[in-house]
Amino acid sequence: MNVICPACGDSNEFAQPHPYHAGFANQGFLYNDAGTLTLVWSSFDPAYEELVGQFHPWALTPAQRAVIEAALSSAPSGGNWSFANVPRCNSCHAPIGESITSSIYYLLYPDSLQPEAAGEPGRFRSALHTGA
């Protein structure tokens, strides 16, 4: 799938057929500060539920979002994961999509973190600080 940047016109290629719908898959997603990595996890992951209870990530209150953000380790490329971060163009860094607070659809960047992708539930803990 290609997403054309509205600012610079460059094509941003993603190895997915369409934007993924987090609600259909019961997933949460966040982008890193740079907007070039995605963290994806299950809404039913035990480590996630230990932090905020049985709430879908797109329905969290600002206080619950803050709990998740504070518990997360830094993104692999540095910076933080945030509910406010948006996906960004790989060329000019302008927004090319919306955050989880505005949209249920997400883009999956190469080298993103998908703790559940290996089919091993309960892997959200691997994205948390060791003390969380």
Q: How confident is the model at residue 120 (pLDDT cuts 50, 70, 90)?
A: low
- Give the Cα separation of 104 and 58 in Å (integer): 7
Q: How many angstroms separate the Cα of 102 from the Cα of each of 58, 93, 116, 128? A: 9, 19, 23, 24
- Give the Cα separation of 53 and 75 in Å (integer): 24
In this prediction, residues 47-59 reach a mean pLDDT of 95
Residue 104 has pLDDT above 90, yes or no: yes
- Give the Cα separation of 73 and 13 in Å (integer): 27
pLDDT score recorded for residue 123:
79
Q: How many angstroms separate the Cα of 9 from the Cα of each of 25, 82, 94, 107? A: 31, 26, 10, 18
Q: How confident is the model at residue 119 (pLDDT cuts 50, 70, 90)?
A: low
pLDDT score recorded for residue 96:
98
pTM of the entire structure? 0.93
